[in-house]
Amino acid sequence: MLNKLTLSDARGKLQAGEITAVELTQAHLDYIKTLDDQIKAYITVTEEQALEMAAKADKRLQAGEKTPLLGIPMAIKDVLCTEGVQTTCASRLLEGFRPPYTGTAVQRLFDAGAVMLGKTNTDEFAMGSSTENSGFFTTHNPWNTNRVPGGSSGGSAAAVAAHMAMGGLGTDTGGSVRAPGAFCGIVALKPSYGLVSRYGLIAFASSLDSIGCFGRSVEDVADILQVMAGYDSKDSTSYHTDIPDYKARLQDGVKGLKIGLPREYFIEGVQPATEKAVRAAINHLASLGAEIVEVSLPHTEYALPTYYLVATAEASANLARYDGVRFGVRKSSGDGLWPMYKATRGQGFGAEVKRRIMLGTFVLSAGYYDAYYLKAQKVRTLIKDDFEKAFEAVDVIAAPTMPTTAFKIGEKSKDPLEMYLTDVFTLPSSLAGICGLSVPCGFDEDNLPIGLQILGPFMQETKILQVAAAYEYSTEWHHHEPALP
């Protein structure tokens, strides 16, 4: 089946003329029709547009053009603006909204010849860790459809894991790329803050949001990042930096590198199978020539409350724009502006989004700003300083991506704090703005995937890709696939 090809194998066959982009795209569209009723990865499938994009890619291929993503079918998280294509943030409030422009990261994929298969499900406005908070439906994990795929980018991760896309875009505010990557058994990359333009990303928390990507190999995500990365004048937080060849060091191995083992990430509450697999992965890296060095990130325990003060405050400000006046759904309840505001926001937002708006509004309110929000920003700086100090001693840090494997649908949805705790190992690096990657490193007793998280210094994506590739090339975990039709 063409949709079972790896991205690199598909690229080779496309460039050799053995297959066409239209054939490859049609194979994916057919499989989506077969499987997505079970997985529910896509909110919108753009079949007609995908085939048109594939036909254009074929013309470029026939002209001899060779770029990494030319003709490659991909999934786009439905928080990224796509001109003329419904973009909902998985919220009833934006149902039917069609942006007048395409976001920079997505446009760069299109310019490189990638094919958009559709827009994928997410927790509403990217607020969640399981993709259960979608305003439309819950996405299911391809490894076990009774389990969550992780969140908030669960739709894209599930699509890639289930061969309904060769690669995918997601967003990571506190772990929303790495978490579903780990739960779905694929590679997931969160770039450093500012490396990939946020222009066209519908904001959740502006100082934390980062556009990342999914693939079934480290090389896949390196290819996608290569296309997306780079300065954009339309994004004031976009970082001026030279973009290296992200694949240049994939074959370099880890001999001589120092890998940090953070003592705060191996704590009570981590699933035994997860800790065993991650420690085995780190020992394997040592056998390849890396030096393992214990490090401390002493403010890790404060990352969770810090994140849920900073992120919710920014969410409260960002989501104030959804008032039923300018775009999105408008609900009417009596006469006047205020009744319309209340009806629109009351009926349009889901429970989790309302919870975060209320918390954020509270911490920004008079009398509480200094006590909560300002103090959280100071602690955020301490967390960032912890990483900078650690990276003076080591090249990268290795740890579990998630404390457990994928949990059952509905298992944590009634306890917000228990749900928030699932991101305990991804939140600190998001607050620090550094890069991170999750790569498959084993399975638990229920045959659910486990992810190894590799964190690197700011703008040092080549380092984490190098370490992840060395691990992937010398193990077999990435070859395992869920049992699908």
Answer whether residue 333 shows pLDDT above 70. no
Which are the contacts of 108, defined by CB distance < 8 A and separation ≥ 6? 227, 228, 230
Beta strands in 109-266, from DSSP E residues, in sequence order? 115-120, 167-172, 187-190, 210-215, 258-262
Question: What letter would DSSP give residue 100?
Answer: S
pLDDT confidence tier of residue 243, bands split at 50, 70 and 90: very high
Annotated active-site positions, please?
77, 152, 176
CA dist., res. 229 & res. 308, Å (int): 28
Across the range 170-195, mean pLDDT stands at 98
Answer whether residue 334 shows pLDDT above 80. no
Q: What are phi and psi of 352, to 5 degrees?
A: -70, -40
114 burial type by CB count under 10 A (0-12 exposed, 13-18 middle, 19+ buried): buried
Answer whether residue 251 shows pLDDT above 70. yes
Answer whether residue 25 shows pLDDT above 70. yes
pLDDT value of residue 335: 78
Answer whether residue 217 shows pLDDT above 90. yes
Answer whether residue 237 shows pLDDT above 70. yes
CA angle 190–328–198, rounded 5-degree value: 25
pLDDT confidence tier of residue 328, bands split at 50, 70 and 90: confident
Computed over every residue of the chain, the mean pLDDT equals 96
Across the range 181-190, mean pLDDT stands at 98
Answer whether residue 476 shows pLDDT above 70. yes
pLDDT value of residue 148: 98
Contact 87, 97 (CB under 8 A): yes
- The pLDDT tens digits of the residues spanning 103-137 come to 999 999 999 999 999 999 999 999 999 999 999 99
pLDDT value of residue 324: 87
For residue 141, how far is the Cα from the chain centroid? 15
CA angle 454–190–291, rounded 5-degree value: 15
pLDDT value of residue 302: 97
pLDDT value of residue 55: 98
CA dist., res. 72 & res. 78, Å (int): 19
High-pLDDT (> 90) share of the chain, %: 92
Answer whether residue 163 shows pLDDT above 70. yes
CA dist., res. 30 & res. 419, Å (int): 35
CA distances from 102 to 16, 77, 108, 111, 122 (A): 31, 13, 10, 11, 19
For residue 196, how far is the Cα from the chain centroid? 13
Q: Domain 2-257+438-452+464-479, CATH 3.90.1300.10 — does that match?
A: yes
CA angle 217–250–242, rounded 5-degree value: 105
Across the range 354-377, mean pLDDT stands at 94
Contact 331, 397 (CB under 8 A): no
